[in-house]
């Protein structure tokens, strides 16, 4: 690796070497049975150079001929984009906890046991439910060095659990799922099972809902699916530079409800997307994106920040074979003061949405969505009275977050390890039903 950087330094104006070693052990179950157990390892390096003001990138997992990596990166630089950045200098790093030695030591037999345990827990409630599950562990080691003396090295562990149950009764097919991920060991999946079983219990009774515009409560999972998907694109600095973000010219403006705040935080301990630096060797941080409804920032890597005349937000992440690109870490949505039980009791007639399908088959950037309610419950006189079927919802995520929020929930939950969000109570949403 040192030879590669030394050779690149002699032939290019600047160079950066990104080394990765990643091992993963996934265990998967299908139709209540163990389906797959395997182990994989990827090791490789990516060389990014700046030559005559242009960027070149080459990567390889076979490093027996390191000179080829240098030659390829220089060849690409002849046709590469104009470099609008310089690599970072050496500096001190903060402490961000992302490694747990216990994850590396989890035996595959224990992973199999965890999967079997989750499936058994759901089938104890109803043996007719067909389950799939996943248990995985991974170790990721990164090293970033450049010709300006910048150097960063870290090791991260991630453990993930997922469980899904499908109950089929005639033409009614209901699938309910849960998952979690952490940099620490997850010793038991019972809490995921409890969530799935509770939703199956609530689904035992069916209820009809009429087509109308009525109050809607989104659980944290529905918030992720409906309200956050367009935000990921709209707050991406690269999308802003392309002129495609509907928020691109609204920095400093009140564009959302004043109770709504959103931040990207790559420093949270033991979150799967956390680290003390991004994949360019820039310190990660807590970046306020929206504060009290006011748009504050977009996410940038070095190149997009240079093009925009801004500073990088430490958001430059990449795969081994790609250039860095602005990417979110952990997103945290502000909480309010109302519990989800209080929200439900406040609704005379409405809908609670937990899972939605196909909402973003159209133009995600516009914020318009239209999707099937895969798991939702009718609210009548302040109570959940049954699961709805054949129901769709439609709206615009940006308009909802500006005009239609009654309250934010007081208890945020992690969704898939990457978003912490509370329930959100909406004054109205368009509902279409065959009922």
Show the domains of the chain with their CATH numbers.
Answer: 2-200 (3.30.2290.10), 205-435 (no CATH)
For 214, the token pair is: 């009525």
Report the C-alpha gap between 243 and 55 in whole angstroms.
Answer: 23
Q: Rounded distance, CA 181 to CA 138, Å?
A: 11
Per DSSP, what are the bridge partners of residue 353?
A: 218, 376
Both ends of the chain: CA-CA distance in Å? 65
Q: What pTM, to 2 d.p., does this model score?
A: 0.93
Question: How far is Cα 136 from Cα 142, in angstroms, rounded to an integer?
Answer: 20
Contacts of 171 (CB under 8 A, 6+ apart): none
Asked if 163 contacts 122 with a C-beta cutoff of 8 angstroms, the reply is yes
Token reading at 41 = 């390892």
The pLDDT of residue 246 is 95
- Reported as half-sphere exposure (CB side, CA atoms, 13 A), residue 155 has a value of 8
Give pLDDT, residue 62: 83
Largest CA distance in the chain: 75
Distances in whole angstroms, Cα of residue 37 to Cα of each of 27, 30, 111, 135: 5, 12, 10, 10
Please count the residues of the chain.
Answer: 435
Q: How far apart are CA 343 and CA 405, in angstroms?
A: 12
- Judged on CB neighbours under 10 Å (0-12, 13-18, 19+), 374 is buried
For residue 354, report the phi and psi dihedrals to the nearest 5 degrees.
-115, -45
3-state secondary structure the chain: CHHHHHHHHHHCCEEEEEEEEEEEEEEEEECCEEEEECCEEEEEEEEEEEECCEEEEEEECCCCCHHHHHHHHHHHHCCCCECCCCCCECCCCCCCCCCCHHHHCCCHHHHHHHHHHHHHHHHHHCCCCEEEEEEEEEEEEEEEEECCECEEEEEEEEEEEEEEEEEEECCEEEEEEEEEEECCCCCCCHHHHHHHHHHHHHCCCECCCCCEEEEEEECHHHHHHHHHHHHHHHCEHHHHHCCCCCCCCCCCCECCCCCCCEEEECCCCCCCCCCCECCCCCECCEEEEEECCEECCCECCHHHHHHHCCCCCCCEECCCCCCCEECCCEEEECCCCECHHHHHHCCCEEEEEEEEECCCCCCCCCCEEEEEEEEEEEEECCEEEEECCCEEEEEEHHHHHHHCEEEEECCCEEECCCEEECCEEEEEEEEEECC
pLDDT string in tens for the chain (435-residue length) = 788 898 999 999 999 999 999 999 999 999 999 999 999 999 999 999 999 999 999 999 887 888 899 999 999 999 999 999 999 998 889 999 999 999 999 999 999 999 999 999 999 999 999 999 999 999 999 999 999 999 999 999 999 999 999 999 998 999 999 999 999 999 999 999 999 999 999 999 999 999 999 999 999 999 999 999 899 999 999 999 999 999 999 999 999 999 999 999 999 999 999 999 999 999 999 999 999 999 999 999 999 999 999 999 999 999 999 999 999 999 999 999 999 999 999 999 999 999 998 887 667 889 999 999 999 999 999 999 999 999 999 999 999 999 999 999 999 999 988 999 999 999 999 999 986
What is the rounded distance in angstroms from the CA atom of residue 340 to the CA atom of residue 132? Answer: 29
Contact 324, 142 (CB under 8 A): no
In degrees to the nearest 10, what's the CA dihedral of 363, 368, 372, 377?
A: 150
pLDDT at residue 1 in the model = 76
How is residue 5 written in tokens? 């950087």
- Position 361 scores a pLDDT of 67
174-184 tens-digit pLDDT:
999 999 999 99
Contacts (Cβ under 8 Å, ≥6 apart) of 390: 433, 434, 435
The owner of tokens 């009548």 is 380
């Amino acid at each position: 690796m040192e030879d590669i950087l030394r050779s690149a330094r002699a032939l290019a104006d600047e160079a950066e070497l990104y080394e990765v070693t990643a091992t993963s052990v996934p265990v998967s179950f299908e139709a209540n049975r163990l389906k797959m157990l395997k182990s994989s390892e990827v090791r490789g390096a990516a060389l990014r150079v700046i030559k005559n003001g242009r960027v070149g990138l080459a990567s390889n997992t076979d490093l027996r001929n390191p000179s080829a990596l240098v030659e390829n990166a220089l060849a690409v630089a002849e046709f590469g984009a104009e470099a609008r950045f310089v690599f970072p200098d050496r500096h001190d790093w903060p402490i961000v906890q992302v490694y747990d030695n216990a994850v590396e030591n989890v035996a595959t037999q224990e992973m199999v046991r965890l999967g079997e345990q989750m499936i058994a827990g759901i089938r104890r409630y109803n043996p007719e439910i067909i389950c799939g599950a996943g248990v995985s562990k991974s170790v990721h080691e990164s090293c970033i060095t450049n010709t300006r003396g910048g150097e960063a090295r870290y090791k991260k562990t991630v453990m993930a659990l997922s469980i899904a149950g499908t109950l089929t009764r005639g033409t009614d097919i209901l699938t309910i799922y849960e998952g979690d991920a952490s940099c620490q060991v997850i010793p038991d999946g019972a809490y995921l099972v409890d969530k799935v079983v509770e939703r199956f219990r609530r689904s035992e009774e069916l209820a009809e809902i009429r087509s109308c515009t009525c109050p809607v409560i989104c659980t944290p999972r529905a918030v992720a699916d409906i309200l956050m998907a367009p935000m990921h694109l709209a707050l991406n600095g690269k999308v802003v530079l392309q002129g495609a973000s509907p928020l691109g010219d609204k920095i400093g403006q009140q564009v959302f409800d004043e109770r709504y705040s959103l931040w990207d935080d790559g420093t949270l301990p033991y979150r799967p997307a956390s680290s003390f630096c991004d994949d360019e060797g820039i310190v990660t941080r807590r970046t306020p994106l929206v504060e009290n409804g006011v748009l504050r920032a977009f996410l940038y890597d070095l190149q997009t920040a240079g093009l925009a005349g801004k500073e990088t937000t430490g958001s430059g992440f990449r795969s081994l074979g790609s250039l860095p690109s602005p990417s979110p870490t952990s997103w945290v949505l502000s909480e309010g003061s109302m519990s989800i039980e209080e929200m439900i009791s406040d609704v005379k007639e409405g809908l609670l949405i937990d899972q939605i399908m196909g909402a973003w088959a159209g133009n995600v950037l516009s914020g318009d969505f239209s999707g099937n309610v895969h798991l939702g419950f009718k609210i009548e006189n302040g109570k959940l009275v049954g699961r709805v079927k054949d129901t769709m919802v439609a709206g615009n995520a940006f308009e909802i977050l500006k005009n239609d929020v009654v309250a934010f929930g007081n208890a945020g939950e992690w969704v898939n390890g990457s978003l912490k969000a509370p329930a959100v109570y909406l004054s109205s949403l368009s509902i279409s039903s065959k009922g």
